[in-house]
Every structure is written in structure tokens, then in C-alpha cells.
Amino acid sequence: MKKQNVSNVERIRESYKGRPYLDPTYDPAFKEFFDDETTLKEFLNHLLHLEGKEKIEQLTFSFDNHLRLRTPYLKEIVFDIYATTASGRFINIEMQRANHSFFLDRVILYNAFLTINAKQSLERSLDFQALRDFEKQHKLYELPETISIWVCNFDLKETNGKYIDTWNLYSDAAIREGNAIPITQKNKYIIVNLTRFTKSLKEIKNPEDAWLYLLKNAGKFDKIQEFENFALDSALERIRVDFAGEELLNAQESSMLTQGEINCRLAEIALKTEEFQRKNEAFLQQSKAFQQQSKAFQQQKEEFQQQKEEFQRKSEELNHKTEEFQRKSEELNHKTEEFQRKSEKLRLEKEKMNVEYQKIFAEKHAMAKALLQDGVAIEVIAKNFGLSVEEIRAL
């Protein structure tokens, strides 16, 4: 069994060949990196820019600190590093490798637990318990200073491209007036965006940069580094692969395997995202084609509308012409009727004239016949009555 453990340790160390340090962005190495009061004090003093009386001189800390609240059900969160200073500060330090949904909500939630725990710790302290009742009542809502530090190994857009940002509680009115001053210094967030920290070793000018440089790059070093600073060098020594014990190496490997699983899921998400993008592009193309068809249909509709309007115009013209034709036809009918009426009148008058003529003709014949019988000469009768000699002889 012992040989198997040794073999496993050697196997893990062999996998780090060419890399002398464990990656401190993984939880086990991160906690080992800061597993020293001097190291943690130095890191916090430089990150928070504490000097003089504000400087941390003494602190206590713990890893994987479990905090439980009943609200009304039991809620538990675990701090990566939980520290309290002799001056009464309460500090939470979190190492986060990947973004996720509601990350900012998580930051606020952890700070809320930190604040409530700090308040409860303050009221349990010997100094508070030694106060008289009215002094305790006076401090009923007093809060100690709380600081939430999040070291993020992913690009958090809320830091606006900066590698370190401080978040506080501000007045919206003051921001609009250009006078944004934190309402209180008792509660703040320090957000470190390691992806935006791009300084090289030669560009390191202060201890704060050195700490961030190590957090981001220690796992990538290909040789032993020395900074001639006890806190920095001792932190590096604690995550040196050659000096790491079996428990740390196994925990680091397990953490990286877990990260591997996360990467696998991220890859799956990436594939699904690509599939979604492909389908989205296809949808956009279909949508574009539909828009083109819709545009063509609209054009056809407009052409049809124009044809319809032209048809209606011609139809109206035809109706006008039809009405004109009907009017003229009626006029023609009226004229035809008038003509027929006049023709009938003329026919009747002609018949009447014929009757009169026949009567006159008969009378002429009768008078001519009578004159003939009286012995008047035929020529005389023909001349006076306008008859021919043959007509008189035929009487």
C-alpha cells in the first residue's frame, strides 16, 4: 500500500515536469499559498493599501469556513479563506476560476453572510459583553468593517477592463452630480480580474503587482523564482511541487480533474452554442429569404393594386361610355318614335289625300262624261279637265 502511495505521488510529480509550482488558481494550492499569517497579512496590507494605524498587525484565519444561517430554513456557505484582524475587521477571500449564472448575486450573498457573521461575532466578543445594557442598546445596529475579496481567473466585464476594482455603496444622486463618495467604509468588495493583469516580471514595480503576478503565473513558471521577499518566497515554497505532500498533490489533482469535468461541460456548451449559432444563421438566412419573398409579394401586391386601380378606372370609363351610349340610344329611340309617329301621320294624310284625289278624279270623270253626252267635243273636254283623249273615250 505504501509503495502504491509513493508511486502515485511520483506519478503526479512527474506530470508537473518542467513546472516547479502548483497552480494557485486552484483551491488546494491557493489555500496552501496563503497558509501563513505573515503571508496573508502582507498580501492584504498591500492589496488594501493599508498603512500606519490601518495596517494589519495581527490576524487569525481559517480555510473552508462553514457559515450557517436559518432564514427560516438552514442555509450554508463555505468561505475559501475567512480572516479576522485584531482591529476588528472581518475578511473573506475567494478564488474563482470560472464565471457562472448569478455570479454577482453570489458575491453579494457571501458578503451578506460575512456581515451577519461579523455582527454576531462582535456581539459575542468579551468587549461587547462587558458593556452596560444601555451601551449595548446604543450599539444595536453597529457593524464592524467587512471586506469581500474575489480573485477571478476569468474576465469579469463589471471591472470595466481593469485588473483590480473596489466596489462600495454609493448615493445615486451623488453619482449624477459627479461627487461619488462611498456612503460607508465599513463594507467593500475588492474584485481582482487576473485576465486583465498583463504585466511582465520586469514591469513589477510594487508588492501588490508581485502578489497578483504570482497568483496568475506561478503555475506556468518553468523554473524556480526568487523575489528576495520573505512573504512572497515562502508562499512560493509552499506550492513547490518538490516539497508538496501527498495530501496536497492528490487534492490539487482532484481539483484539476474537477476542472477538467467543468472544461468538458464548457466544451459541450461551446458545441451547443455552435449548433445554436448554426441554426440561428440558418434561421436568419430563412428569415432573409422570407423577407425577400415578402418584398416580392409586396411588389406583386402593389402591381396588382395598380392593375386593379387601372381596371377600375377603365371600368368607370366604360360605365361612362355605356351610360352615354344608353343616353344616345334613348335619344335615338325617342327620335325613331317621333319619326314613326310623323310617318304614320304622313301616311294617314296621304291616304286622305288619295281619297280626296279619287273623289275629285271621279267627279272630273263624271263631269267629263256628262259633257261628252251633251255633245261637247272631246278635245275641249280633255283640255279643260286635264284628261287625255283616250281617257275620255274610255268613259
pLDDT in tens, 125-171: 999 999 999 999 999 999 999 999 999 999 999 999 999 999 999 99
Q: Who contacts 181 (Cβ-Cβ below 8 Å, separation ≥6)?
A: 170, 171, 174
pLDDT of res. 241: 95
Please give the residue that has the higher pLDDT: either 37 or 271.
37
- Residue 151: inside a domain: yes
Calpha distance 367→383 (Å, rounded)? 13
Average of per-residue pLDDT across 265-271? 75
Q: Assess contact for 392 and 382: CB atoms under 8 A.
A: yes
Calpha distance 156→134 (Å, rounded)? 46
- The gap between the terminal CA atoms of the chain, to the nearest Å, is 176
In the chain, what percentage of residues exceed pLDDT 70?
95
Nearest C-alpha neighbor of 30 from the set 38, 40, 19: 40
Q: Strands, DSSP E only, in the chain? A: 59-70, 74-85, 90-96, 146-152, 164-167, 187-193
- Residue 180: inside a domain: yes
Domain of 170 in residue numbering reads as: 2-244
Omega before 24 within 30 of 0, i.e. cis: no
- Residue 211: inside a domain: yes
pLDDT of res. 70: 67
Mean of pLDDT over the chain? 89
- Residue 328: inside a domain: no
Q: Assess contact for 34 and 106: CB atoms under 8 A.
A: no
- Residue 137: inside a domain: yes
pLDDT of res. 4: 45
pLDDT of res. 271: 85
Calpha distance 306→18 (Å, rounded)? 80
pLDDT of res. 265: 60
pLDDT of res. 124: 93
**Which phi and psi (to 5°) does residue 77 adopt?**
-130, 160
The answer on pLDDT for 2 being more than 50 is no
- Residue 112: inside a domain: yes
Count other C-beta atoms under 10 Å from residue 119's C-beta: 16
Alpha helix (H) residue ranges in 131-245: 133-138, 172-176, 207-217, 230-238
Strand partners for 188:
147
- Residue 340: inside a domain: no
The answer on pLDDT for 231 being more than 90 is yes
Q: What pLDDT digit, counting tens, does each position of 336-370 carry?
A: 888 899 989 888 888 888 888 888 888 878 888 88
- Residue 66: inside a domain: yes
Q: Which amino acid is at 9?
A: V
CA of residue 236 relative to chain centroid, distance = 45
pLDDT of res. 69: 73
The answer on pLDDT for 48 being more than 90 is yes
Number of domains in the chain: 1
Q: Who contacts 171 (Cβ-Cβ below 8 Å, separation ≥6)?
A: 180, 181, 183
The position carrying cell 490576524 is 59
Q: What pLDDT digit, counting tens, does each position of 60-111 carry?
A: 999 988 887 766 667 788 999 999 999 999 999 999 998 888 999 999 999 9
